[in-house]
Amino acid sequence: MTTAREREAIQHDFQTKMNEDELLNCMRCGFCLPACPTYIESGMQEKYSPRGRIALMKAVKDGLIEPDEEVERSLDLCLGCRACEPVCPSGVKYGELLEDARDIINQNKKHSLPVRMLRKGVLDGLFPHQNRMINVSSLLGMYQRSGLSKVARKIGFMELFPESMATMEKVLPSVPKRKEMKHRLRHFEPDIVKKATVAFFTGCLMDTMFLETNQSTITLLQKVGCEVVVPEGQLCCGALHGHSGEKEKAKQMAKQNIEAFEQVQADYIITNAGGCGAFLIGYDHLLKDEPEWADRAKSFVSKLKDISAILVDLDFHHQHLRLPDQIVTYQDSCHLRNVMRTFDEPRTLLKAIGGVTFKEMEGADRCCGSAGIYNIVEPDMSMQILDHKMEHVKETKAATIVTANPGCLLQMKLGIEREGLTGRIRAVHIVDLLLEALN
């Protein structure tokens, strides 16, 4: 519930803070409608479309309507997948508008106590601290290794949570031991003649729950001739904060990351998570109002590259790659595709593997419904999207679904579990599959 006073404050901030030029830039042509998953899945309701959302934001700014529950609902239901951006001929920066609007609403709202606790605990207390991330992840690891997880599953503890969460618990990867996470090496020599020096952005989730994938990434980089440095002091990219209306926190994290990477003279900064990459690439916009950071942010952003892009640049796909005969399909990471604009490279790499028949699924470019914490806060829409996604997966008869982002990876695993296909279909991160193919 939003109180009258909160609404007034929100409206006021819309008037003073929303970027009017960007709102006007939308000429309401509607070219973005067919690309928007929530428009399609809601049975073509304009209020759940990009054009409708922009119109609502503008109307709140213009004072035509109040920021009521319906307006919030419309914004809440947005996946933030940004599929509306590459198709917009006017170049409307929808992602920025959404972030600003969410920030305003969040800053002016007193959340209910449990929500506040959760936000505070997770967004302030956890993600900005790699140490604590390691602790939580190790708790999870202990929970898994001790057999407690089996017990919890048996007594149905997880059934207290939304259905998606309960299933999600089953598909979480086994977390590496705390020791492995804490004592990681920070410098790796290339296996062949050096072609570039790269700094690796590990990502908070990737460096805990998906540590193995990070190791595979480094190994692949070494194989193509990269000297790899893992700068110390780097943090979570801040995407979860930025996307859920905690802009200030996100800014602090951005600055610390920029500082950490300035300590390395790298040609490129490499990420292996589309979601992080897309947020990192927006650091210059995030810090646009802070002149002393503008250039530093720009230089950071200009070096960013996704792992699949650098692998293609350095001819990884011409190496001898082989897997047992199988059909493989690829689910785009929305942010890798729509923001980093990287979508050909992963496909080029997969097609280069001997034994692999690459089959494009229908709507591979459409969001899988994971979208950060969307699958937890909007389970109904998320599961509806996922179920449609799984239909398209099944049509390809693929044995392996490849993704390029941890959130998508978990969501695809969840989809496999929900469909009862565990054991028959697997979901993997692209770098893990590539390493498998190389060995």
Partner 1 sequence: MIDSKIREQLVAIVGNENYDDTISGRLVYSYDATPNHQELPDAVISPKDKQDVCQILKVCNLEKIPIVARGSGSNLCGGTCPVEGGIVLLFKHMNQLLEIDKENLTVTVQPGLITQDMIKQVEAAGLFYPPDPSSMKISTIGGNISENSGGLRGLKYGVTRDYVLALEVVLPNGEMIHTGGKLAKDVAGYDLTRLFVGSEGTLGVITEATLKLIPKPESKKTMLALYQDIEAAARSVSQIIAKRIIPTTLEFLDKHTIRAVEDFAQIGLPTDVEAILLIEQDGPPEIVARDIQHIADICRSEQAVDVTVAKSDEEAEKLTTARRTALSALARLKPTTILEDATVPRSEIATMVKAINDIAIKHNVKISTFGHAGDGNLHPTCLTDVRDKDEMERVEAAFADIFAKAIDLGGTLTGEHGVGVMKSPYLEWKLGEAGIAVMKGIKEAIDPNNIMNPGKMFAKELKKRVVIGE
Residue 75 or 136 having the CB closest to ligand SF4: 75
Amino acid identity at 338 = N
Maximal C-alpha separation, the chain: 65
Which of 116, 26, 77, 134 lies closest to 385 in space, CA to CA?
A: 77
Q: Which stretch binds ligand SF4 (CB under 6 A): 29-37, 286-294, 379-387, 418-426?
A: 29-37
Q: Which stretch binds ligand SF4 (CB under 6 A): 47-55, 130-138, 232-240, 389-397?
A: 47-55
Q: Which does 83 bind (CB under 5 to 8 A by kind): partner 1, ligand SF4, none?
A: ligand SF4
- Residue 400's DSSP bridge partners are 328, 426
Least distance between ligand SF4 and beta carbon 346 (Å): 20
The answer to whether 31 contacts ligand SF4 (rule: CB under 6 A) is yes
Residues that bind partner 1 (CB under 8 A): 20-21, 24-25, 27-31, 33-34, 43-44, 46-47, 49, 51-52, 55-56, 59, 64-66, 68, 70-71, 74, 88-92
For ligand SF4, the binding residues in 52-111 under the rule CB under 6 A are: 53-54, 78-84, 88, 90, 92, 94
Q: Which does 78 bind (CB under 5 to 8 A by kind): ligand SF4, partner 1, none?
A: ligand SF4
Q: Which does 430 bind (CB under 5 to 8 A by kind): partner 1, ligand SF4, none?
A: none
The answer to whether 50 contacts ligand SF4 (rule: CB under 6 A) is yes
Q: Which does 56 bind (CB under 5 to 8 A by kind): partner 1, ligand SF4, none?
A: partner 1
With vertex at residue 23, the alpha carbon angle to CA 22 and CA 24, rounded to the nearest 5 degrees, is 90
Helices 69-76 and 94-107, interaxial angle, to 10°?
130
Residue 28 or 288 having the CB closest to partner 1: 28
Per the CB < 8 A criterion, the answer to whether 35 and 117 are in contact is: no
User: How far is it, in rounded angstroms, from Cα 223 to Cα 207?
Assistant: 20
Q: What contacts 299, CB < 8 A, 6 or more positions away? A: none
Per the CB < 8 A criterion, the answer to whether 298 and 258 are in contact is: no
Q: Which does 435 bind (CB under 5 to 8 A by kind): ligand SF4, partner 1, none?
A: none
Per the CB < 8 A criterion, the answer to whether 329 and 396 are in contact is: yes
User: How far is it, in rounded angstroms, from Cα 105 to Cα 273?
Assistant: 28
Residue 53 or 241 having the CB closest to partner 1: 53
- Residue 306's DSSP bridge partners are 271
Residues binding ligand SF4 (CB under 6 A): 26-32, 35-38, 50-51, 53-54, 78-84, 88, 90, 92, 94
